[in-house]
Structure 1
Amino acid sequence: MTTTGVVTLVAIALMAIASAIIGVLGVRVTRSTSDFLVASRTVNPLTNAAAISGEYLSAASFLAIAGMIVASGADGLWWPVAALIGFLALQLFVAAPLRRSGAYTVPDFAEARLSSAALRRVCAVTVLLIGWLYLLAQLQGAGFALTALTALPSWSGVAATGIIVLLTVLGGGMRSITFVQAFQFWIKVAAIAVPLAALFGLLLSPTGTARPAGEVFAERTTVTVRTGVTMVVEQPVTVTAEGVVDGAEVAGELQWQPGEHTVESGTQLVFPAGAEVPVPTGSAPDSEWLEPTPGAGRLLEIYSILIAGFFGTMGLPHILVRFYTNEDGRAARRTTVVVLLMLGGFYLMVILLSALARRLVPQVLLESTSDAVVLLVPTAAFGDNPVGWGLVGLIAAGMAAAFLATSSGLVVSLAGVLFTDILQGKLRNFRLAAVLATVVPLVVALTTPRADFTLLVPLVFAVAASTFCPLLILGIWWRGLTSPGAITGVIVGGVLSGAASLASLYAPLPDGWIGTLATRPAVVAVPLAFLVTIVVSKLTGKSVPGDVDGVLLQLHAPERLGLTIDRLTQQRSEGPELR
């Protein structure tokens, strides 16, 4: 194993050990079911904001967004924008009323609002669908990242992430992972901020300022193509190659003429100083990098990305459950404001890091898929030396924090639903629920090919936006919502977005707007889910719950009026004691 691989493993191990120690400290104050589910609703806004930011900044935020920006320029900026406006919407419409509902899970809120056991079951199934899809992406991403940095088999990263997350959740539930996720958020910030500062230093150095803006190699450069790629050359160039180029085995100099050239995985290319940097097909040429891609199809995709981010953030179960841990509705709103500041700062650093990577080390575009750009920047910029190794180690620790923080939040939210809706009763059943929540996606991740981050994660957002967002918005702000309307809306939105997800992941798609809608279904699924929910609710207006005014008053009235009811306390008084 290379020195970089050893440093990566040490950094990941240290990250896991530190997280375990912090989790143990959280376990020491975990004594009740409420501690396991919502940390007894005593998490202060700053800590909760760091924990929310920690689990929201998943592998997609840490790896894929930077890769999209490096490869596509301005077109890669839409996801950070969508993420931020999603939390703004959460702040305005959902955070405080959701906390005042006294619920512990989304299905719990649905039953409290509409008194429907059938709706609760539908919501529970939807939580499992969203959570398992998102957890699958995190586990497979961990395997991919570990392979990219250490050459270890992908399954080792998948299995290690699943085991560490499960042990953390089993130890202390929400109380424990709150402290762990807050710590992991700051590790992720450091993992972006320090390499960013180092790249700025390289840019301001004499050698850095002499480099053209990502158009030519500043010095003789060796590039190892990790995945097969077709690249475009605009000027003739002499390149030394060893591997398979344009379908033929080569070992020596090649004279590339302008046009497209195909290079297979494992091929090594050596470009002379001053040679133009080839552009992989599908990546924006440098002259167009800062300009959005024109065309109606691209505009449709952008609208769908914004809709998925705006409405999907409000529907992610593992994010929503964190607002149940705040002391009251005012604290939930304060938490969201701090989250906006934290996420905004993080994404700004990711954008700057991506721009500098494109300028200083454009060869990373040729060395792997875009998901691995952040991982390859340090050694590409600073060389195979202690500086490069140290930065790789820090990024590896941040990468591990991204996978662990998001995965642990997902497992807690899934376990909470399994515990409250299926394995009701004693506290040990929460631990069994955590095992089930982890094992299902773990088995799938180990036995299926890796799905692309840039496809799977947006589709999870689309499913969340098409199911829970209409339920929450209408349930909080419209007294006319009925359980038949809510059930129909969740099912229609879930089936439509879920079918598009499966089609885009496992079937060839046509070009044009049909293919765009399959990979970005939110632009159709979300409005349709809202429309169906409203129409069916209007047609079944007689089934509006009789206590709707009292429930809405509880959701919107300040806590000092004493109207908030803890759902778990209420259930204990109505049923068997949870122990």
Structure 2
Amino acid sequence: MNAPANLTAVLLVVAVTVGIGGYGLRSRSTPDFYVASRTVSPLRNAAAVSGEYVSAASYLGIAGLLATYGSTMLWYGIGYTAGYLVLLVLVAAPLRRSGAYTVSDFAEARLGSMAVRRTATVFVVLIGLLYQVPQLVGAGLALHTALGAPAWSGTVLVAAVVLVSVITGGMRSVTLVQSVQYWLKLTALAVPALALLLVWRGVWHPSGGPSPLPVAHAAGGHDGGQGLYGVYSLMVALFLGTMGLPHVTARFYTNPDGRAARRTTVGVLGLLGVFYLLPEVYGGLGRLYAPGPAAADRAADTEVLLLPGRLVPGTTGQLLTALVVAGAFAAFLSACSGLALSVAAVLSQDLFGGDVRGFRRAAAPAVLVPCAIALLLSGSGMSVAHEVGLIFSVAASTFCPLLVLGIWWRRLTAAGAVAGMLVGGGLSAAALTLTLLGVGGTGWVGALLAEPAAWSVPAAFLTMVGGSLLTPGRVPAAASVMLARLHLPEALAAGPADRSAADGDRSSAVPARSSRDGHH
């Protein structure tokens, strides 16, 4: 690889990120830092959501898994996109109408319970921190592949840039950065993909040597019933886990109203649908032109970075590679920024006072803790896409039941919600831990642990429903009013009904905060 060109690409992405983030210096108020004062247009928000959602798993991991295991891995791209369809139908508009800043705010306002808020906060922090780890590990791997630099340097570089962006501008600046980075990532994959397809079809014969001949790939796939179970369980995790990702749900609080939240989600479906055509191109060509089977899933994650130079020799191939490297670092930065924002928001609300100063204080652990974990796990051999899939299982097993039942079922109680989150989150988190430790092997036990969503999500729903039915006397008195607020258009739900939905000792926090930014 051409290290100078790749280094220039990385530095340009960092400079653009920091430069555009300077716009965030205009952020001064609490609403600016938490929800960009709820003034983000649907088109910009759709690009920002897509920008932070297209992470290391999407940019590097899907192509690597396709190159290694074949067409079964196409479900990753489908699942990542289809999760927004479920979110559009069930969650997007009501969640915006709640007036919340965070999932913890929503949970407390809906159920009037500090126990629910604290439980939700724990899982927001857990998911947000764990999701950053594969992004930071991927950054180290990419920098090592592109420049030959130590893996830790990429991890530290991304963490430092993210910390500066979050502290200086909060949601306002990060929104603008992520919307620009989506288009950068799309271009960085699309232009080399077009060139590679021209080479593959024989339309373009680059100078410097003939096109490489296709080589049979010997990597195996998944077997029998275990493989089929893994596909279905992965679909459950990706379809239902999207709504449980704290950095995704936080985006819908920045829309002006529920209608804008729905329009944002439709835009996201279109933008992601276009983007996820591209990793399949790299994965398919990588499977055809790879010099041999990948030694490990982590090695396969470099397929996107290596393929342009493999098919297009000379200066042109080096420039295409540099473009791909630039897009990869945009993916790491945008995903980590959104995750750090979501974690800092809930930590600030619950531990640091909830103001701008508290937000900035909370940003440090939100970035530095996953950075430390990533440095410890940098030698792991697991694919970033599979690691992210496991985290989707945790999200689907905790916040999906809470949001769906909280929005659509009046009889949900605080006791049921806490029990469901603890059961679903505990089971999926235990499976994630055991999988990372290598427990289970290749049999059914290993398959059930590697893809736990098929059993952990139903367990969470059943526990949440059962716990609520066993505590009928604890249904919040204002449940009907709150549900009206979630489902009626803002013009009809505003006024005294809005205020009464906030009855309770701490549940008034959401409407009170909303009133400060003019959307109560």
TM over 0.5, shorter chain: yes
1:147 equivalent in alignment to 2:157:
no
**Superposed counterparts of 1:34-433, under 5 Å:** 34-205=31-202, 277=215, 279-282=217-220, 295-359=224-288, 361-363=289-291, 365-366=293-294, 369-383=299-313, 385-433=314-362
1:356 positional shift: 3.1
Mapped to 1, the partners of 2:203 and 2:407 lie a distance apart of 58
1:492 is matched with 423
Equivalent AA in structure 1 for residue 13 of structure 2? M
- 470, 473, 481: which one aligns with 1:550: 481
- Structure 1's 511 and 41: CA in aligned 2 closer, same or farther, altered over 3 A? same
SS at match of 1:507: coil
- Other-structure match for 2:4: 6
Distance (Å, rounded) in 2 between the aligned partners of 1:199 and 1:141: 23
> One-letter code of the match for 2:307?
V
**3-state SS of paired residue (2:352):** coil
Secondary structure in structure 2 of the residue aligned to 1:279: coil
Give the Å deviation of 1:82. Answer: 1.1
Tell me how far apart the structure 2 counterparts of residues 25 and 574 of structure 1 sit (CA, whole Å): 25
Q: Give deviations 1:298-351, integer Å, cap 9, x for gaps.
A: 110011000000110010001000000000000000000010000011011221
| Distance in structure 2 (CA, Å) of the matches to 1:146 and 1:555 | 45
Amino acid at match of 1:363: P
Q: Give me the whole-angstrom Cα distance separating, in 1, the residues matched to 2:304 and 2:82.
A: 25
Distance 1:177 1:298, change over 3 A: same
Equivalent residue, structure 1, for 2:370: 441
571, 574, 577: which is aligned to 2:512?
Answer: 571
How far the C-alpha of 1:145 sits from its partner, in A, is 1.1
Measured after TM superposition, the shift of residue 407 of structure 1 is 0.1
Q: Matched residues in 2 for 1:166 and 1:80: separation?
A: 29
For the 8 Å contact 1:35–1:174, the answer to whether it is kept is yes
Partner of 2:505: none
How far apart, CA to CA, are the structure 2 residues paired with 1:281 and 1:505?
A: 22
The 8 Å contact of residues 280 and 366 in structure 1, kept in 2 or not, is answered as no
Taking structure 1 as reference, are residues 568 and 327 closer, same or farther at Cα in structure 2, changes over 3 Å only?
Answer: farther
Distance 1:437 1:499, change over 3 A: same
Q: Which has the higher helix share?
A: 2
Shift of 1:202: 1.2
Are residues 484 and 334 of structure 1, via their aligned partners in 2, closer, same or farther at CA, if it must alter by over 3 Å? Answer: same
Deviation per residue, 1:164-204 (Å, 9 max, x gap): 00000111100010000001000100011101110122134
Deviation at 1:206, TM superposition (A): 5.8
Aligned to 1:17: 15
Cα shift readout 1:34-83 (whole Å, capped 9, x = no counterpart): 00000000000000000000010100000010111122221111111111
1:553 partner letter: A
Q: Could you tell me how far 1:440 is from its partner in structure 2?
A: 1.0
- Per-residue deviation, 1:6: 1.7
List alignment gaps of at least 5 residues for structure 2. 503-507
Given that 2:152 and 2:378 are in contact with CA atoms closer than 8 Å, whether structure 1 keeps it comes out as: no
Deviation at 1:574, TM superposition (A): 11
Match of 1:459 in 2: 390
Please give the alpha-carbon distance, in whole angstroms, between the structure 1 residues aligned to 2:58 and 2:373: 22
Q: How far apart, in 2, do the equivalents of 1:195 and 1:207 lie?
A: 13
Q: 1:433 to 1:151 in 2, by over 3 A?
A: same
Q: How many residues align?
A: 500
Contact 2:100 2:510 in 1 (8 A): no
The answer to whether the 8 Å contact 1:415/1:434 transfers is yes
Whole-angstrom distance in 2 between the partners of 1:364 and 1:149: 20
Distance in 2, matches of 1:539 and 1:68, equals 45
For the pair shown, the structure with the greater C-alpha radius of gyration is: 1
Q: Among residues 23, 26, 50, which one is paired with 2:24 in the alignment? A: 26
8 Å contact 1:365–1:373 — kept in the other structure? no
Residues 18-47 of structure 1, C-alpha deviation per residue, up to 9 Å, x if partnerless?
11111112322x120000000000000000
- Deviation of the 1:365 alpha carbon: 4.6
- Tell me the TM-score normalized by structure 1: 0.83
- TM-score normalized by the length of structure 2: 0.92
Once the 2 structures are TM-superposed, how far is the Cα of residue 441 of structure 1 from its aligned partner?
A: 1.1
Return the offset for 1:569. 7.1
Q: 1:569, 1:320 → 2: CA distance? A: 15
Shift in CA distance, 406/573, structure 1 to aligned 2, threshold 3 Å: closer
Does structure 1 retain, via aligned residues, the 8 Å contact 2:181–2:331? yes
Task: Call closer, same or farther: CA 1:208–1:73 in 2, change over 3 Å.
Answer: farther
Whether the aligned pair in 2 keeps the contact of 1:104 and 1:568 (CA below 8 Å) is no
Aligned 8 A contact 2:68 2:219 in 1: no
Name the amino acid aligned to 1:480: R
Residue identity matched to 1:528? A
Relative to 1, partners in 2 of residues 1:358 and 1:449: Cα closer, same or farther, differing over 3 Å? closer
After superposition, the C-alpha distances for 1:488-527 in whole angstroms (9 at most, x for unaligned) are: 0000011100000000001332322211111100000000
Letter in 2 for 1:15: V
Q: Please tell me whether the aligned partners of residues 68 and 294 of structure 2 are also in contact (alpha carbons under 8 angstroms).
A: no
- Alpha carbons 2:81, 2:272 under 8 Å: kept: yes
2-side partners of 1:88 and 1:406: how far apart?
A: 20
| Poorly superposed stretches of 4+, deviation over 4 Å | 206-209, 364-368, 564-569, 572-575
Structure 1 unpaired stretches of 5+: 210-216, 222-273, 284-292
Change in Cα spacing, 1:413 to 1:278, as seen in structure 2 (3 Å) is same
- AA at the equivalent of 2:281: L
Provide the rounded CA distance (Å) in 2 between the counterparts of 1:110 and 1:450. 38
Deviation at 1:160, TM superposition (A): 0.5
- Evaluate the alpha carbon distance shift between residue 450 and residue 559 of structure 1 in structure 2; reply closer, same or farther with a 3 A threshold: farther
Measured against aligned partners, the alpha-carbon deviations of 1:272-313 in whole angstroms (never above 9, x if no partner) come to: xx7x83634436xxxxxxxxx662111100110000001100
Once the two structures are TM-superposed, the CA of residue 401 in structure 1 deviates from its matched residue by 0.5
Q: Percent identity?
A: 46
Q: Distance in 1 between matches of 2:396 and 2:240?
A: 5
The one-letter code matched in structure 2 to 1:557 is L
Which of 414, 436, 452 is 1:505 aligned to? 436
Higher share in strand: 1
Distance 1:540 1:425 in 2: 32
